[in-house]
């Protein structure tokens, strides 16, 4: 008998492949609809000389802009299928190489932020939901409501102002000091210090989602016999919260995680731009300004692929868990 | 008494000792490292074909790659890889003698072969900051002797092509078919005073190391780091002595930099903010251009928008600090609504009772395009013209959209900043060219002068023609120069008396960081 998780995985795959293909088309055509010509922008400095006709044609083909859109698309797709994301002329580097240096930074922020907002959201939510209307609930729910109303980039700017400029205890930008230390331990410490503010900004954005989810669930759970029973048997403290509430929250959290992923990957782009963090956000932002189609396509496709992949796995696990009840 | 004095003496002695120690530390050995901050950071790898296609990317690359000629601090050309040169009487043959003391960063000697190779390589693989299309043949006559045969005489041969073209090592580039994709470590083997030791694209950080046997003198610093840093952070870091130069300090922060203990050098950018006209539309008429000019109050606009960070620009294209600026006084089109109104009335415009201008019974609405940086100027301009009775439709566009709309001719007026620096041949593309920041003008009289100066046979003759050019330009007004913003570089005592290069560095980069300041 096929394990149910495999069935879930397979059924999720086909939908996502279709979504992915549509996305590739979208990210191919949308930038081309923007005003502005990549080659003209590339050479927009008034210190550079004008190109003669044949030189301009040659440069266009280097940009992958020779021929009509359909021809460009065909060429792009056939390269994409063999894993070639193309070459960014403005950066003078293959797109894959640019992404290879940028994506780890983006993932670092996400990987540090995720446990933070998941645990904080769950712990706070359970505490508040256990005794709705009590002092903790009122204070926490009030605070989280305020946080939830701040858009991610505003939160990032506020954090930057507070801890990077007005009270400069943490670095205001970048992922490393000007001159990274040769000592790996010191270097890791510096990287961690630089990640604090961006991670906080990102977590603040997500924590409210999971807080409210946990609180709502906890209120319902408190009425369920197995919790009442447990309380009656004198189980309390850490064990009650983790083993009884926490375990029951797990599938709900997973399910929510799968649809909040897109929001998370979107928020990280803003956060990176505010903190001049060298992740994909910066690459994408500048690629739009420079009309660097090849890089923009590559970055969006890879990021989207990553989101779809994570979302696919989480979904399958969540569905299996939900079925188990 | 004794008891009271002792601690005082101790404190004094300790202070003195500390002072001496700091002094000794400051004086010990050659200055090791220079840290330059750049607000934007990544300018691409510092090799000719792959650096960022802007002035700063080019400037940094000149630290690594020498050209045949260089500049003295007053902007005049001086020998570099070419130790001397002669130009034939007809201006078609240029003999160049290579300085045989020069070596590539990998130790190979620089020869006439390398220079000749660069000319032919750049014919085949265009490098957009050096135009070698006028070279008919580059012939190697001996190890150090190169003869250039030109297609036509070029008054800008020295200050244009030879000054701006980085010489490439033949033994590295000869086999490279696609130099714009050549980003290997060998791509940055130049002959300049500094070698590129490390480049971190993600962090926007460069580390340059002294080229110990540089043929024109010893590099001043063992290491130069160029790092990405926002102005606020840079000012803080300067206070803590972590950085030495803020390459482009926003001029309004000048006092703050002084308070942080930095020296500052302030100069006109000569990157003037100009009001361009759509010459294929109604502004093909000179009188209408004049009318608009008279309807604008430049001093008022500047004091509102720029305060102390810009001054009124010269209307004759070249700006005051340029070596080619004429001493003649050009019309300033001082604010005169009456003159403007007379000119418009003569052109058939009429002002109705609502004080607005009409043409053929229709209210005149002019479309103004402006880049984001010129937003404030565009708003004040619109206020001024609307007070005069001309309605404006102001569109602030991001870079790409602006360039698109400008080249499509979808506008009446346009506000943008563009350079007036570099060899005067630049006027051919900046006034008559097709690119977005060009005036897009085609007046025959002015064109004839621009062409004549490009083939002038002596500097004096060229200057005379350019004086005439500036006079005609200020009368014809292909574009109305509004403001000449200042630029500021802040630096500490590791360097002394920096000056912005008159006329700009090589291709015309406004900068106080010409490489001659980095070599003893």
DSSP B446-500: HHHHHHHHHT-SSHHHHHHHHHHHHHHHHHH-SEEEEEEEEEEEEE-TTS----P
Helix, strand, or coil (residue B73): coil
More confident residue, B145 or A177: B145
Taking residues B19-43, report their average pLDDT: 68
Distance to chain A for B444, nearest Cα, Å:
21
Taking residues B13-21, report their average pLDDT: 51
More confident residue, A172 or B295: B295
| Both tokens assigned to B494 | 């590791």
pLDDT band with cut points at 50, 70 and 90 for residue B21: very low
CA of A34: which chain B residue's CA is closest?
B401
* Chain B contact present for A157, CB below 8 A: no
pLDDT at A130: 86
Which H/E stretch holds residue B267? strand B263-268
Report how far residue B67's alpha carbon sits from residue B59's, in angstroms, rounded to the nearest whole number.
12
- Window 360-419 of B: residues touching A by CB (8 A cutoff) are 398-401, 403-405, 407, 418-419
How far is CA A219 from its chain centroid?
A: 30
Q: Is the pLDDT of residue B17 over 60?
A: no
Q: Is the pLDDT of residue B30 over 50?
A: no
Q: What are phi and psi of B48, to 5 degrees?
A: -50, -45
- Nearest one of B160, B213, B187 to B65, comparing CA atoms: B187
Distance to chain B for A178, nearest Cα, Å:
7
- pLDDT tens-digit series, residues B106-117: 999 999 999 999
Could you give the dihedral angle defined by the CA atoms of residues B470, B472, B476 and B480, in that order, rounded to the nearest 10 degrees? Answer: 10
Taking residues B308-334, report their average pLDDT: 93
pLDDT band with cut points at 50, 70 and 90 for residue A93: very high
CA of A99: which chain B residue's CA is closest?
B202
Q: Are B438 and B479 in contact (CB under 8 A)?
A: no
Percentage, residues of chain B above pLDDT 90: 83
* Chain B contact present for A266, CB below 8 A: no
CA of A52: which chain B residue's CA is closest?
B126
pLDDT band with cut points at 50, 70 and 90 for residue B14: low
* Chain A contact present for B55, CB below 8 A: yes
- Size of the A and B interface in Cβ pairs below 8 Å: 117
CA angle at A33 for the pair A32 and A35, rounded to the nearest 5°: 95
Q: What are phi and psi of B424, to 5 degrees?
A: -55, -20
Helix, strand, or coil (residue B415): strand
Q: Which neighbouring-strand residues pair with B96?
A: B85, B146
CA of A100: which chain B residue's CA is closest?
B202
**Residue pointed to by tokens 């001493």:** B327
* Chain B contact present for A175, CB below 8 A: yes
C-alpha separations of B332 from A153, A287, B294, B481 in Å: 46, 42, 9, 10
* Chain B contact present for A93, CB below 8 A: yes
pLDDT at A287: 92
C-alpha separations of A12 from A19, A251, A269, B358 in Å: 11, 18, 27, 65
pLDDT at B31: 66
Q: Are A195 and A272 in contact (CB under 8 A)?
A: no
Closest by Cβ to A47, choosing from B55, B242, B399: B55
Tell me: ipTM over 0.95.
Answer: no
* Chain B contact present for A165, CB below 8 A: yes
Most confident among A11-15, B14-18, B248-252 (mean pLDDT): B248-252
Interface test with A, best of B34, B53, B232 (most A CBs within 10 A): B53
Cβ contacts of B37 within 8 Å, gap of 6 or more: B226, B227, B228, B229, B234, B237, B243, B245, B246, B247
Closest by Cβ to A92, choosing from B50, B128, B233: B50
Residues of A in contact with B407 (CB under 8 A): 40
The model carries a pTM of: 0.89
Test B422 with A174 for CB contact under 8 angstroms.
Answer: no
Test A40 with B507 for CB contact under 8 angstroms.
Answer: no
CA torsion through residues A201, A206, A212, A214, sign = negative
A280-284, A293-297, B70-74, B211-215: least confidently modelled range:
A280-284
pLDDT at A7: 80
- Nearest one of A279, A186, A101, A171 to B229, comparing CA atoms: A171
Cβ contacts of A194 within 8 Å, gap of 6 or more: A170, A171, A174, A175, A176, A177
Taking residues B455-479, report their average pLDDT: 96
pLDDT at B10: 55
Distance to chain B for A117, nearest Cα, Å:
28
Q: Are B246 and B238 in contact (CB under 8 A)?
A: yes
Report how far residue B454's alpha carbon sits from residue B465's, in angstroms, rounded to the nearest whole number.
10
Taking residues B316-342, report their average pLDDT: 94
Most confident among B3-7, B14-18, B450-454 (mean pLDDT): B450-454
Q: Is the pLDDT of residue B6 over 70?
A: no
Average pLDDT, chain B: 92
């Amino acid at each position: 008998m096929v394990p149910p998780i495999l069935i879930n995985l397979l059924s999720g795959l086909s939908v996502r492949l279709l979504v992915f293909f549509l996305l590739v088309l979208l990210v191919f055509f949308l930038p081309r609809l923007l005003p502005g010509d990549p080659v003209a922008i590339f050479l927009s400095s008034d210190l550079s000389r004008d190109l003669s006709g044949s030189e301009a044609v040659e440069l266009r083909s280097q940009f992958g802009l020779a021929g009509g859109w359909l021809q460009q698309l065909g060429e792009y797709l056939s390269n994409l299928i063999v894993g070639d994301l193309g070459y960014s002329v403005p950066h003078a580097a293959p797109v894959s190489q640019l992404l290879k240096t940028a994506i780890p930074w983006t993932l670092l922020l996400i990987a540090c932020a995720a446990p933070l907002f998941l645990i904080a959201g769950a712990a706070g939510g359970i505490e508040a939901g256990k005794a709705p209307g009590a002092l903790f609930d009122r204070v926490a729910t009030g605070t989280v409501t305020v946080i939830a109303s701040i858009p991610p980039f505003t939160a990032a700017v506020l954090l930057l102002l507070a801890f990077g400029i007005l009270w400069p205890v943490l670095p205001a930008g970048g992922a490393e000091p000007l001159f990274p230390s040769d000592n790996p331990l010191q270097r890791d410490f510096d990287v961690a210090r630089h990640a604090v503010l961006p991670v906080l900004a990102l977590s603040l954005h997500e924590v409210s989602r999971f807080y409210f989810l946990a609180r709502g669930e906890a209120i319902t759970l408190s009425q369920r016999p197995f919790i009442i029973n447990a309380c009656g048997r004198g189980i309390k403290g850490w064990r009650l919260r983790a083993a009884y509430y926490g375990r029951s929250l797990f599938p709900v959290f997973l399910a929510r995680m799968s649809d909040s992923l897109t929001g998370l990957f979107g928020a990280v782009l803003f956060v990176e731009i505010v903190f001049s963090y060298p992740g994909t956000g910066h690459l994408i932002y500048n690629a739009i300004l420079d009309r660097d189609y090849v890089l923009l396509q590559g970055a969006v496709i890879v990021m989207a692929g990553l989101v779809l992949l994570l979302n696919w796995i989480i979904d399958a696990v969540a569905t299996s868990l939900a079925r188990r009840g | 008494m004794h008891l009271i004095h002792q601690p005082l003496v101790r404190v004094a002695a300790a202070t003195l000792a500390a002072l001496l120690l700091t002094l000794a530390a400051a004086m010990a050995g050659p200055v090791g490292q220079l840290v330059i901050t750049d607000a934007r950071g990544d300018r691409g790898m510092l090799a000719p074909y792959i650096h960022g296609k802007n002035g700063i990317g080019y400037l940094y690359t000149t630290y690594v790659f020498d050209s045949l000629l260089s500049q003295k601090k007053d902007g005049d050309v001086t020998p570099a890889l070419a130790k001397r040169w002669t130009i034939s009487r007809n201006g078609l043959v240029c003999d160049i003698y290579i300085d045989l003391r020069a070596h590539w960063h990998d130790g190979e000697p620089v020869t006439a072969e390398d220079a000749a190779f660069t000319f032919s390589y750049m014919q085949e693989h265009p490098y957009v900051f050096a135009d070698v299309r006028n070279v008919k043949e580059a012939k190697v006559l001996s190890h150090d002797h190169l003869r250039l045969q030109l297609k036509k005489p070029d008054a800008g041969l020295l200050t244009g092509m030879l000054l701006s073209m980085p010489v490439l090592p033949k033994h590295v580039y000869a086999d490279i078919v696609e130099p714009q994709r050549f980003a290997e470590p060998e791509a940055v083997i130049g002959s300049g005073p500094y070698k590129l030791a490390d480049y971190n694209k993600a962090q926007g950080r460069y580390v340059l190391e002294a080229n110990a046997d540089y043929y024109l003198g010893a590099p001043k610093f063992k290491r130069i780091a160029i790092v990405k840093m926002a102005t606020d952070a840079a000012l803080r870091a300067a206070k803590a002595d972590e950085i030495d130069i803020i390459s482009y300090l926003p001029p309004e922060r000048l006092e703050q930099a002084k308070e942080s203990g930095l020296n500052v050098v302030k100069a006109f950018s000569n990157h003037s903010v100009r009001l361009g006209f759509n010459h294929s539309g109604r502004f093909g008429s000179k009188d209408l251009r004049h009318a608009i000019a008279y309807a604008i109050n430049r001093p008022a606009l500047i004091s509102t928008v720029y305060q102390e960070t810009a001054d009124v620009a010269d209307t004759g294209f070249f700006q005051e600090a340029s070596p080619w600026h004429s001493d003649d006084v050009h019309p300033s089109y001082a604010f005169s609504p009456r003159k403007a109104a007379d000119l418009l009335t003569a052109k058939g415009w009429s002002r109705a009772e609502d004080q607005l201008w009409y043409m053929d019974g229709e209210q005149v609405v002019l479309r103004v395009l402006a880049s984001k940086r010129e937003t404030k100027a565009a708003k004040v301009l619109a206020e001024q013209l609307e007070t005069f009775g001309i309605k404006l439709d102001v569109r602030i566009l991001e870079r790409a959209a602006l360039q698109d709309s400008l080249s499509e001719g979808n506008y009446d007026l346009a506000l943008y900043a563009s350079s007036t620096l570099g060899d005067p041949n630049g006027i051919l593309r900046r006034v008559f060219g097709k690119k977005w920041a060009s005036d897009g003008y085609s007046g025959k009289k002015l064109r004839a002068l621009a062409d004549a100066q490009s083939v002038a046979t002596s500097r004096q003759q060229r200057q005379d023609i350019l004086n005439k050019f500036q006079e005609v330009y200020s009368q014809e007004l292909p574009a109305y120069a509004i403001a000449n913003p200042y630029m500021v570089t802040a630096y500490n005592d590791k360097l002394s008396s920096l000056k912005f290069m008159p006329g700009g560095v090589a291709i015309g980069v406004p900068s106080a960081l010409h490489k001659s300041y980095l070599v003893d």
